[in-house]
Amino acid sequence: MKFGSFPVSKTEGMVLAHSVSVAGRVFKKGRLLSQADVQSLTQAKMESVYAACLDEDDVSEDEAAATLATALAGPGVRVETPFTGRANVYADTAGIVALDENAINKVNALDEAITVATLPNYDAVTEGQMLATVKIIPFAVPKTLLSATVQYAQDAKPALALNRFQVATANLILTTVEGMKPSLITKSHKVIAARIAQLGMSLTSVETCQHTETDIAAAISKSSTDAEMTLILGASATGDRHDVVPAAIERAGGTIKHFGMPVDPGNLLLLAEHEGRPVLGLPGCARSPKLNGADWILQRLAAGLTVGAEDIQAMGVGGLLKEIPSRPQPRDRKPKNGPAPRVAAIIMGAGRSTRMGDANKLTEEFDGKPMIAHVADAALSSKADGIILVTGHQKDDVLKALAGRPMSYAHNPDFAEGLSTSIKTGIKAATELDPPVDAALILLGDMPLISANLIDRLIAAHDPDEDRYICIPTVGHKRGNPVLWDAAFFRELQDLNGDVGAKPLIAENADLVCEVAVVGEASLTDFDTREALRNRNSD
């Protein structure tokens, strides 16, 4: 093929390289110039045009694109009529993209004139969705080049195909623990049903049981007889191969194939098998409709593909998942104000210390200074942007114990009515800070072992884009304090009642909780009796 500027009189049979407008008539790029076209251009005083002159052994762009796309295409896909050197390939049905990446890379590496662009391998697609496009960049390519690319395509297995969704049914097991609200079970059911419906699946049954090995094993044995797959969403996240859910699967006669995956969110996924059927232990993030690692496994299983440990371990590159617009989010999110979110530290210093007798535990000496001073110093040394002390019982004594440390104060006149009133007072004060804060960390005044490092770890873990709205320190499987709350919960925190704090709110939003593993007993240790304080001071 020759490309360049040619005298108009010599261009009959050539392909016009650039659109030309003559006397209100447009000759579009790619037009095969006829004798009449040449006459019209000559009459319009056009002397030359850019065009492509094809040789005898050249194949036109449309024909080449269609030929290569057809050679690449396998089961489940269709090639549309080419245009301007492009042939698009579409899914005939919903399923999983199946690529021979090596073959496609060979085609793209052979010559710059021929390109193939595809969706990522194993992407889930809907019927009619575009999977790939073959684009011939010049107006023609030599037959020998096209033959070589076609041969690469034909040597593949095929190079581009679709594994249709074929698994139709699944059972869902939801476990509960004491204090878990029924609304969370209902929400989990709805989200998972909607998630698998996108894969052409429906739930045959939904079983709710206690989070124990015995109860879960019984539910697995019961569910495995009437569906092609079993899904388990535990009230407590699986933290080890020998935790409750995997132990229950083995008790029921199943086999653990792999625990964990290099995809976030979704790290705590469990893949197992029971009586020849897949069993999937879902991570806690599956309670949210947001894309997570479990979706990747569900998609492959729904398409009838075998998934093993090696498949999961190969998902790390690209496994840092971000929000995508096709999945709704559980609540509105405000944009970040800057590169680092602002976090307020709220110290609870209003309690009556009833278990300490006549003394106020917060002002009692602990390792050489008042107990509450330890908490204040940890907050002041941390990355928190503002410190708020909530006062109530013996306000003046508490302020004296803090010896003028730089912080703001919010008095709670209703402190006798319980912890919730102090939380509401502190959160209200946090909402009035200028500039506004993105989150608040609630510290208890009787936990003097808390360090600035622990506070900073909770602040670092906070990330609404990853559904980390509530950050809680954990030691083993025990949750402790302090707890960090995203500003999205400020209104709900101000609606609390009673003396139980915010525990019910945590249970209702388990899918938005981030557990931060910490070492030591600081996050689990308070000093609210004379005996506890005496034992500490005598050590």
Domain co-membership, 350 together with 456 = yes
Question: 472 Cβ partners below 8 Å, 6+ apart?
Answer: 458, 479, 480, 483, 484, 506, 513, 514, 515, 516
Could you say which of 164, 193, 213 is where a domain stops?
Answer: 164
The answer to whether the beta carbons of residues 160 and 25 sit under 8 Å apart is no
Q: What is the pLDDT of residue 204?
A: 94
Instruction: State the CATH number of the domain containing residue 109.
Output: 3.90.1170.30
- Is 335 a domain residue? no
Given a cut of 60, whether residue 336 has pLDDT beyond it is: no
Give the span between the Cα atoms of 116 and 285, in whole angstroms: 35
CA atoms within 13 A on the CB side of 495: 6
Domain co-membership, 269 together with 182 = yes
- Domain tally, the chain: 4
- Is 396 a domain residue? yes
Domain co-membership, 85 together with 182 = no
Could you say which of 10, 29, 53 is where a domain stops?
Answer: 53
Q: What is the pLDDT of residue 338?
A: 46
Given a cut of 60, whether residue 78 has pLDDT beyond it is: yes
What secondary structure, in 3-state letters, does 330-372 show? CCCCCCCCCCCCCEEEEEEECCCCHHHCCCCHHHCEECCEEHH
Domain co-membership, 173 together with 146 = no
Decide: helix, strand or coil at residue 208. Answer: strand
From residue 117, how far is each of 73, 88, 108, 233, 307 by CA, in Å? 13, 10, 9, 38, 26
- Is 532 a domain residue? no
Question: Model confidence over 222-272: pLDDT tens digits?
Answer: 876 779 999 999 998 888 999 999 999 999 999 999 999 999 889 999 999
Domain co-membership, 147 together with 187 = no
Domain co-membership, 275 together with 144 = no
Domain co-membership, 159 together with 207 = no
Instruction: State the CATH number of the domain containing residue 263.
Output: 3.40.980.10
Decide: helix, strand or coil at residue 177. Answer: coil
The answer to whether the beta carbons of residues 64 and 116 sit under 8 Å apart is no
Mean pLDDT value across residues 164-176: 96
From residue 329, how far is each of 209, 296, 494 by CA, in Å? 28, 18, 23
Could you say which of 292, 313, 334 is where a domain stops?
Answer: 313
Q: Which domain holds residue 116?
A: 58-164
Q: Round the average pLDDT of the chain to a whole number and report it.
A: 88
- Is 536 a domain residue? no
Given a cut of 80, whether residue 429 has pLDDT beyond it is: yes
The answer to whether the beta carbons of residues 280 and 256 sit under 8 Å apart is no
pTM score above 0.75 = no
Domain co-membership, 408 together with 496 = yes
The answer to whether the beta carbons of residues 269 and 286 sit under 8 Å apart is no
Give the span between the Cα atoms of 171 and 289, in whole angstroms: 18
72-76, 110-114, 322-326: the lowest-pLDDT one: 322-326
Question: Model confidence over 94-138: pLDDT tens digits?
Answer: 999 999 999 999 999 999 999 999 999 999 999 999 999 999 998
Q: What is the pLDDT of residue 539?
A: 55
Give the span between the Cα atoms of 278 and 158, in whole angstroms: 27
Domain co-membership, 403 together with 431 = yes
Given a cut of 80, whether residue 532 has pLDDT beyond it is: no
Mean pLDDT value across residues 298-312: 97
**Closest C-alpha among 113, 163, 176 to residue 140:** 113
Judging by DSSP bridges, how do beta strands 58-60 and 140-142 pair with one another? antiparallel
Given a cut of 90, whether residue 325 has pLDDT beyond it is: no
| Contacts made by residues 208-211, CB under 8 angstroms, sequence distance 24+ | 208/173, 208/174, 208/175, 208/176, 209/173, 209/174, 209/175, 209/176, 210/175, 210/176, 210/177, 211/175, 211/176, 211/177, 211/235, 211/236, 211/244
Q: What is the pLDDT of residue 161?
A: 97
